[in-house]
Structures are given as structure tokens and as C-alpha cells.
Structure 1
Amino acid sequence: MHVELVPESRHESLIDLLCELHAFYNEGSAVSRELVREHLLGNLLATGSSQRLAVASSEDGAVLGLAAIALVYSLVDFTPDKRKHCQMKELYVRSSHRSRGIGKALMSWVARYAVENGCCRIDWPVKASNARGISFYESLGAELVAERLAYRLSEPSLSRLANAVK
């Protein structure tokens, strides 16, 4: 197994994984490979995108897992050793390859990338119902940030707020 920023040679296999990821979060929903390819190349991997996609691949080149990260600067801590952190948007390992060290290899790669880029920490969300994921993260030494909550604004509230004050 090898972990690296996704090379062009892995795009097709990554599309397969992203289709599986979509199904994981959207039970009963399917998405076309063409739509996923368009999003991958036009947004996630586009020039100027803040996203970095690290993939774990098998010896034959199949993408087995993914970590999506972005480096973020603090707006409240300006000291050089604390002003930059790594935000992980997603960690996903194919369901058929879990419990084989792939998630740990991806997290180790992300930690190394963060340290090499001057980050003081890695932050990420996890669903409260994901007991297996929470246990995995805690086994790595991660700590729950109890004072943080996540909020989301989506339709129709998003449009209502966008048009509230002009």
C-alpha cells in the first residue's frame, strides 16, 4: 500500500471510491461517474482549490482510501507555532478494506503533511453516531473537542438569509 497526493493515474479509481462514498452518506442514492469526474477535476483538483486529496492505493493501483484536507490559518492565534492548522474534511476507507491499517496509514500521512507544512494540529468532524470512527480516532490519541458544535445552513434557510439584508 502506498499513500500520496492523488496522481492523475489514480483518477479513475478515485472516482469509484467517491461513488462509494456518496452511497455511504446517501443511502439509496446513486451518482453518475461522469458527474463525479466533473466534480473531481473541475472543483476538488482544480487549480486554486484549497483541497488536497491523499489516497491510499494497492500495489495494482486501486484506490482503497482517501483523506481530504486543507491548510487553514488562524484568525485568533498569531504566534508562529500556533497560527496554522490542517482541516480534514473526510477520511474514508472502502468498506471492503477496513480494519487493515489503511485508515491509520492515511492519518499518519496527514499528520506528516501537517507537520511538514508548519501546522500545530489537525481538526475534523465526525458523526456522533460513528462509534467505530470515534474509537479509531481516540486510538490515535485524538481528543474530543467538547466545547465545539457544528452548525449547517442549507435550503431554504440559506436563500432566505442570503436575501434578508442587502
Structure 2
Amino acid sequence: MYDIKLIDNAQMGIIIPFLKELKPDVSVASLEERLKDMLLNNYKCVGIFDDQKLIGISGLWVLTKYYVGKHIEPDNVFISPEYQGKGIGKLLVDWIFKYAKSIGCEASELNCYVKNERGRRFWESQGYELVAYHFQKQL
């Protein structure tokens, strides 16, 4: 029914409209420039497709940290509004977990905005636990 796969770097521009939905205050030019930099640092993105139509994305970072080991970090997860509430997010997360295990990851971590109550409930329903605060300072 749905096809879930890594998006080839050469096709990565297809995710820009989704990123713009997530961060409407950031210009398309800035998003494109950031994406170029991210790809140089091993950023990957998985897409979920309905036929040939991209309906959802999750950025993926594979990192190793002393306190958790090798892990995968879903980033900027977005499902098109008309597809939300249909179990597609769970399909995407299940794919991410399977992929993570296939490349030797021991865990998964992610960030969720404090005000994103719906997102927090979703991630908790996928087995994530709140274990820390993420701090940020603009320079």
C-alpha cells in the first residue's frame, strides 16, 4: 500500500516543501542551504510514498554518544495533514526502528518541541520516554 524508503541524495529537494511546513519562518533558500550542509554530515531522510506521491518524511541521524551508544535520531518528522491519524506515522517509525537495528543501533533518541503536545503523545505511544531537556541558545 505505502512505500517507505530512503530518499536518494540527488532527489533530496523533494523534502523542502515538508520542511517549509515545519518551519514556515525559514526561507526556502535557507532550507536548501542547510540541507546541503546536512548532507555533507551524513544526513539521511526516509520518505513514505502513496504510489509516487511523497506523503511523509523523517530525517535520520546516526550518531554514537557515550551515554547511549550507537543510535538513530528521527528528525523533522512530518506527515501530510490529509494522511494524519491513519497509522502512517507508526508505519514510518516501525521502518526506522527496523532500519536502525539493521545498521547496529542500540537505541533511538529524538527532540520534540515542548508545546507539541500531540507529538509528545505520539512519541510516548511509540515507546519513547522523556529523559532530558534540550536547551538551545541563538548566537
Question: For 1:66 and 1:84, how far apart are their aligned partners in 2?
Answer: 22
Structure 1 residue aligned with 2:138: 154
> Does the C-alpha gap of structure 1 residues 137 and 6 become closer, same or farther in structure 2, counting only changes over 3 Å?
same
* Aligned sequence identity (%): 22
Once the two structures are TM-superposed, the CA of residue 38 in structure 1 deviates from its matched residue by 4.4
Structure 1 residue aligned with 2:39: 45
Once the two structures are TM-superposed, the CA of residue 12 in structure 1 deviates from its matched residue by 4.8
> Does the C-alpha gap of structure 1 residues 63 and 10 become closer, same or farther in structure 2, counting only changes over 3 Å?
farther
Question: For 1:8 and 1:154, how far apart are their aligned partners in 2?
Answer: 29
Question: For 2:46 and 2:26, how far apart are their aligned partners in 1?
Answer: 24
CA RMSD of aligned residues (A): 2.2
**Count of aligned positions:** 138
- Secondary structure at 1:67's aligned position in 2? strand
Is structure 2 residue 66 aligned with structure 1 residue 70? no
When normalised by structure 2's length, the TM-score is: 0.83
When normalised by structure 1's length, the TM-score is: 0.71
Question: For 1:120 and 1:3, how far apart are their aligned partners in 2?
Answer: 22
Q: How does 1:1-166 map to 2 (within 5 A)?
A: 1-7=2-8, 10-23=11-24, 29=25, 31-32=27-28, 35-40=30-35, 42-46=36-40, 49-59=41-51, 61-76=52-67, 83-145=69-131, 148-155=132-139
Once the two structures are TM-superposed, the CA of residue 30 in structure 1 deviates from its matched residue by 6.3
Q: Is the Cα contact below 8 Å between 2:69 and 2:107 reproduced in 1?
A: no
> Does the C-alpha gap of structure 1 residues 135 and 22 become closer, same or farther in structure 2, counting only changes over 3 Å?
same
Question: For 1:3 and 1:73, how far apart are their aligned partners in 2?
Answer: 25
Once the two structures are TM-superposed, the CA of residue 99 in structure 1 deviates from its matched residue by 0.9
Name the amino acid aligned to 1:103. G
More strand by share: 2
Question: For 2:77 and 2:97, how far apart are their aligned partners in 1?
Answer: 13
Which ranges in structure 2 are unaligned for 5 or more consecutive residues? Answer: none
Q: Is the Cα contact below 8 Å between 1:10 and 1:63 reproduced in 2?
A: no
Which ranges in structure 1 are unaligned for 5 or more consecutive residues? Answer: 24-28, 77-81, 156-166
